[in-house]
Structure 1
Amino acid sequence: MKLAEALILRADYQKRIEQLKSRLLQNIQVQEGDDPYENPKELMKELTDLLSQLQDLVQKINKTNLLTPFNETESLADVLVKRDLIGQERSIYSNLLEQANFRQDRYSRSEIKYVTTINVKENQKHVDELSKKYRLLDMKIQELNWQTDLLEK
């Protein structure tokens, strides 16, 4: 199995776990005398099995990321951290720009006037550069994910 396939499977497991959680919550209590639509014990067993499969898969993914070279100096795990931090920085600066661009209507000169304290144009350029850096790095990561075989324990 390729690493990219394992990542897709992980997302599927996580989605199924959330669905099982929801189904459990819907069937955990019923009116006295009624039967639940689904057997909670069976749902709990299915949830436990799925969580075990997810744990095994995540451990294999983590091992693969750690031991797969991305370039001469960094592993795939190192670059994933770098990509996530670039994304976080981009998100923070985007939120700052959104706040800086907020227009507040004033109805008279006596109302308080707010001014932006950052250079919007410079910061927008920085967000654009971060977006490009994130996108290029993510494309290389995705390419490597489809070329890399998932390592077994």
Structure 2
Amino acid sequence: MKLAEALQERADINHNIEQLKNRLNNNVLVQDGETTVEDPNKLKTELDNSIKRLQYLIARINQTNCETSIDGESITELIAQKDALSLKINIYKETAFLASQLSYRARNSEIKIKSAISVTDWQAEIDKMSKELRLLDNKLQENNWKTELIE
């Protein structure tokens, strides 16, 4: 199995677990004399099996990410780099957005509010980092489809 396939299966299982949780919650109480729409014990068994498979996939994915190297860095290091870059971009975008807000004055005697940063410079840096993030993500995606999951 390729790493990308394992990642897709992990996402599907997480979605399935959320659905099973909701279905269980909808079937644990019933009016006296009535029956539930679904058997909670069967749902519990299905949930337990899904969680067991998720645990297996997480362990294999993490091991593969730690032991697989791309251009001298592990996939884990590249993912950390991607996450940090995404965080930085989001904070910079929020800052640039706030700094670009105009403050209107009804009279010249009111306090004038102006940006303390160069929004243009910040936006140029955001654009540069966004390109770097896209290239990094492309590299990771490409390698996910080439890398065999360590089992």
Q: Same fold (TM over 0.5)?
A: yes
Any runs of at least 4 consecutive aligned residues in structure 1 with deviations exceeding 6 A, and if so which?
A: none
Q: How far apart are the structure 2 equivalents of 1:35 and 1:83?
A: 50
CA displacement at 1:95 relative to structure 2: 1.3
Give distance in 2, aligned partners of 1:107 and 1:149: 65
Q: Distance in 1 between matches of 2:115 and 2:30?
A: 56
Per the TM alignment, residue 110 of structure 1 is displaced from its structure 2 partner at its CA by 5.7
* 8 Å Cα contact 2:103-2:114 kept in structure 1: no
Of the structure 1 ranges 104-113 and 37-46, higher mean CA displacement relative to structure 2 is found in 104-113
Alignment of 1:2-151 (within 5 A): 2-72=2-72, 74-109=73-108, 112-151=111-150
Structure 2: runs of 5 or more not aligned: none
TM-score, with structure 1 as normaliser: 0.90
- Deviations for 1:43-81, whole angstroms, at most 9, x for unmatched residues? 122111101100000100000011101113x11111111
Percentage of matched positions with identical amino acids: 42
Which amino acid counterpart does residue 89 of structure 1 have in structure 2? K
CA distance in 2, matches of 1:105, 1:33: 67
| C-alpha RMSD of the superposition | 1.7
Say how many residue pairs are matched.
151
**2: distance between equivalents of 1:25 and 1:106?**
55
| Cα distance in 1 for residues equivalent to 2:20 and 2:103 | 46
Structure 1 gaps of 5+ residues are none
Name whichever of 94-103 and 42-51 sits farther off: 94-103
